[in-house]
Amino acid sequence: MENAAAVLELGILLLAAVGLGWLARRIGLPAVVGYLALGLIVSPFTPGFAADRHQVGLLADVGVVLLLFEVGIEVDILRLRREQHSLFWAAPLQILLTTLLAGAAVLAAGVEPIAAATLGLCVAMSSSVVVVNIVRSRRRTTDPATEEALLGWSILQDVTGVALAMAFLAALDARARPLPLALAGLGLFILIAVVVAWLLPRAAWHVREQHDLFLITSVGSGLAIAGVGAVVFSVPLALAAFVGGLAISEGPTTREIRLRLLPFRDLLAVLFFVGIGMLLDPALLLRGLPWLALFLLLIVVTKSGVAFLLARLSGLPRPLQLATSLGQIGEFSFVLASTLLAAGAIADHVYVALVAAVAISIGASAVLARSAGRRPNVARDGRLEPTG
């Protein structure tokens, strides 16, 4: 019975997340904003009840691992190459230009070069969760062509961003160990991920008729490959999970693995965003207000501006809506900033400012993206969809 209080707390948090997520949607915001608000309410920095940060943090780590492992599996580079040629230069170029411009601004503000480049990458990347929410919401104003472009852009952002992130983190790790050794470790982890990606569909295929074993194989593989990357090769859990999923080739078995992961991903990803909200220390945020203003300015002007121009040049539909939909930061940015904080490369108030930018940009992006749509939300059969 010693764990009964922890189980009760977890149940209350999830039910409260339902309430605040529903309320956020009723006022036109994504449910993620409600989860972030719940984290702030139950944080140790606000009056009243304070949730167990260690328990929430552990489950949040599991959630983000499964989230990014599933996103990595979903990526089909060959299909994107066939169907959306212009995205193959526009999305990576947006990441590179935004990282360069935002990194230069952060460097001018006094952050060391490697950390500044990594923070620039934090600004350049968008939240896959928020993008999916925008294109699948019943209140969406996107059309099918815009949805395909937005999802493809988000996927290529993730691929390009992870490649840059691993290079930046190897350079950061070089302060503790030689750069060739850090790069060798990353290369070995990628090799292991490819081997696991080859074995996983074959192992899962043999237990596909035994639903419990298939489920355990799917979840356990995502957690194990992320854990190996983090423990053995010092790759952040979320990045290791994404690389592992990315290495897995498309096929009927892997599609089934994705479907089995979705309920766990959705449940535990809620706690990931609650955990982010619990990190918002008002005292540190007050010190970091100039940084918060800088991050928001870089997201709104630099990132969205670059995305808009590249979308126009590449002939993609609704460039303004696409740019505003991408005008937020999320899970990858949080993971990278957490790594910088743990390495002592950024101050606490800079980190909290970036966490606050996650919360604010997610809410603002959802509202602006919806407003940028010119047509009402119409279902695929031509009827207006419900707006609940």
- Per-residue pLDDT tens for 305-351? 999 999 999 888 889 989 998 999 988 898 899 889 988 999 999 99
The SS3 assignment for 378 reads: strand
Q: Which residues pair with 384 in a beta bridge?
A: 378
Q: Is the Cβ–Cβ distance between 388 and 138 less than 8 Å?
A: yes
CA–CA distances in Å: residue 178 to residues 18, 183, 188, 336, 345: 47, 9, 16, 21, 18
Is residue 182 included in any domain, yes or no? yes
Note the helical H segments in 4-52: 4-26, 31-41
Q: How far, in Å, CA of 259 to CA of 322, rounded? A: 27
Which amino acid is present at 166? M
Is residue 252 included in any domain, yes or no? yes
Is residue 29 included in any domain, yes or no? no
How many domains, in total, are found in the chain? 1
Return the pLDDT at 208. Answer: 79
How many CB atoms neighbour CB 124 within 10 A? 31
Instruction: Give the CATH number of the domain where residue 227 resides.
Output: 1.20.1530.20
pLDDT tens per residue across all 388 residues of the chain: 567 888 899 899 999 999 999 998 888 777 888 998 999 999 998 888 888 888 888 888 887 788 778 777 776 666 666 656 788 899 999 999 999 999 999 999 999 999 999 999 999 999 877 887 777 766 667 788 888 888 889 888 888 888 898 888 888 876 666 667 767 777 888 888 888 878 888 888 888 788 888 888 888 888 888 888 888 877 778 778 888 887 776 677 777 887 878 787 778 778 888 988 898 898 999 999 999 999 999 999 999 999 999 999 988 888 998 999 899 998 889 889 988 998 899 999 999 999 999 889 988 887 787 777 655 444 444 333 333 3
Three-state secondary structure of 242-261: HHHHHHCCCCHHHHHHHHHH
Q: Is the Cβ–Cβ distance between 35 and 270 less than 8 Å?
A: yes
Is residue 47 included in any domain, yes or no? no
Return the pLDDT at 382. Answer: 38
CA–CA distances in Å: residue 297 to residues 80, 215, 228, 357, 386: 31, 43, 37, 10, 35
Is residue 120 included in any domain, yes or no? yes
Is residue 5 included in any domain, yes or no? no
Residue written as token pair 């993008």: 131
Return the pLDDT at 22. Answer: 93
Return the pLDDT at 176. Answer: 60
Rounded to 5 degrees, φ, ψ at 235 are -90, 130
CA–CA distances in Å: residue 367 to residues 271, 326, 372: 23, 12, 9
Is residue 309 included in any domain, yes or no? yes
Is residue 23 included in any domain, yes or no? no
User: What range defines the domain where residue 88 resides?
Assistant: 54-372
Q: How far, in Å, CA of 367 to CA of 145, rounded? A: 20
Q: Dihedral sign, CA of 246, 247, 252, 253?
A: negative
